A and B are shown apart, each in its own frame.
Chain A
Amino acid sequence: MKGIERIISISVTFGILFIFWILLSAHFDAFHLVAGAVCAMLVAVISHDLLFTKPVRGGILTLLHFTHYCGWLFLEIWLAGLDVAYRVLHPDLPIDPQVVTFDTPFSDDIVRTVFANSMTLTPGTITIDVIGSTYTVHALTSEAARDLTEGRSIEKRVHRIFPET
């Protein structure tokens, strides 16, 4: 990464960090703003390549898909909590836990992380281990296990926000 790309990367990182600083400090006097700008610039120059490891494509469309995905995830977290609460409070404890191992087509580290964390937040499943693109998952019920290997609803969702991987 060099030239114009580097400048864009640094300035976007600086912008995000500076906004973050303002939100956290909530002071608008000269001292706090200048201190924030200096800190944000320093961090941006040193570590801008951590935020953008490669040129960002897609732009608006990816952002839209991501927003949609966050909404869906929020709903799933609700369902997950209610599902666990129902099973825990049910007198018969209706669980059928099993460990499932399955393959996914994801090659990018960020996509793999998003997928693993989404799985832990959605009803009935917890990610145990990830080796390459092979996931080991603990499912609380056999329905949840079947969805992972056959329905693959979470996988399709993640695929929609990151179509290139």
Chain B
Amino acid sequence: MIGFFSLVTAILIAMGLFFMIVGPIGLIRLPDLFTRAHASGKCDTLGQALILLGLIVYEGFTFDAVKLLMLIIFLYVMSPTATHAIVRAAHILKYHAWKPGEERE
């Protein structure tokens, strides 16, 4: 018999894995750097947070859970900043943004 918390953990991690897989699929399917940044920036942040949340539920109310919670907060500050750094570099280098109807790269 699987415990309730193990089940919640499994569901959360499965959802996290779903988003972690969608991120790379987006990298392949989307046409240019800027749109790819959307896929990697958002799906990965959500996926990682869900996996960590699952681990917090598994861990219960301990110091390790608090550390994992801090990791989530850190991720939410770091991920947009990293995404921003990449697209800003592309913008400064006058990287052409894809428009509908154009040939994809």
A residues with CB within 8 A of B: 23-24, 26, 77-78, 80-81, 83-85, 88-89, 93, 95-99, 116-117, 120-121, 123-124, 126-129, 136, 138, 140
Judge whether B76 and A140 touch: CB under 8 Å.
no
- Residues of B with C-beta under 8 A to A93: 29-30
- Residues of B with C-beta under 8 A to A121: 42, 45, 76, 79-80
Query: Which residues of chain B in 68-99 are interfacial with respect to chain A, using CB atoms and an 8 Å cutoff?
Result: 70, 76-77, 79-81, 83-84, 87-88, 91-92, 97-99
Kindly identify which residue among B38, B63, B76 contacts A26, using a CB–CB cutoff of 8 Å. B63
Judge whether A97 and B99 touch: CB under 8 Å.
yes
Judge whether B35 and A129 touch: CB under 8 Å.
no
Known interface pairs A93-B29, A138-B87; 17 further A-B residue pairs with C-beta atoms within 8 A, sorted by A's residue number: A23-B67, A24-B67, A77-B49, A77-B76, A78-B46, A81-B43, A84-B43, A85-B43, A88-B22, A88-B26, A88-B43, A95-B100, A117-B77, A117-B81, A121-B76, A128-B34, A129-B88
Of all chain B residues, which has the CB nearest A138?
B34
Judge whether B34 and A81 touch: CB under 8 Å.
no
Judge whether A129 and B91 touch: CB under 8 Å.
yes
In this complex, which of A24, A117, A128 has the most chain B Cβ atoms within 10 angstroms of its Cβ? A128
By DSSP majority rule, is chain B's interface helix, strand, loop, or mixed? Answer: helix
Judge whether B70 and A23 touch: CB under 8 Å.
yes
- Total A-B Cβ pairs within 8 A: 102
Q: Is B52 an interface residue (CB 8 A)?
A: no
Q: Count B interface residues, CB 8 Å.
A: 40
Q: Is B55 an interface residue (CB 8 A)?
A: no
Judge whether A128 and B30 touch: CB under 8 Å.
no
Judge whether B39 and A97 touch: CB under 8 Å.
no
- Residues of A with C-beta under 8 A to B45: 77, 81, 121
- Residues of B with C-beta under 8 A to A24: 67
Judge whether B38 and A126 touch: CB under 8 Å.
yes
| Assembled-state Cα–Cα distance A85/B37 (Å) | 13
Given A23-B70, A84-B43, decide whether A89 and B84 contact each other with a Cβ distance below 8 A: no
- Residues of A with C-beta under 8 A to B29: 88, 93
Judge whether B19 and A23 touch: CB under 8 Å.
no
Judge whether B84 and A126 touch: CB under 8 Å.
yes
In the assembled complex, the CB of A1 is this many whole angstroms from the nearest CB of chain B, namely 26
| Assembled-state Cα–Cα distance A124/B39 (Å) | 10
Q: 7 shortest A-B CB distances, which residue pairs?
A: A81-B46, A120-B80, A26-B63, A88-B26, A117-B80, A85-B22, A138-B34
